[in-house]
Homo-oligomer: A and B are copies of this chain.
Amino acid sequence: MKNNIKNLRATFNLTQGDLANRIEVSRQTINAIEKGKFDPSLPTAFRLAAVFRCTIEELFVYEP
């Protein structure tokens, strides 16, 4: 699963820590998701999409 978080984060001028605070996860979680270490849970994906005012489909690219 790929994602556009790093780019969007830059567009919105947010640090990993800022974003983490906004969606109430740890900074390490944001880092891990950006780095592709693991996929977020569905609730976390919804909160991320809400911050960037986009759909989950625009934020994440599913790869079988």
Contact = CB atoms under 8 A, between A and B. Distances in A.
Contacts of A20: none
Nearest to A40: B42
Contacts of A46: 60, 62
A17 to B, nearest CB: 21
Interface residues of A, number: 14
A27 to B, nearest CB: 20
A39 interface: yes
A55 interface: yes
A62 B40 CA distance: 14
A14 B23 CA distance: 36
Given A1-B42, A40-B42, A41-B41, 19 more contacts: A1-B43, A39-B41, A39-B42, A39-B43, A41-B42, A42-B42, A42-B45, A42-B56, A42-B60, A43-B62, A45-B45, A45-B56, A46-B60, A46-B62, A55-B55, A55-B56, A55-B57, A56-B56, A56-B57
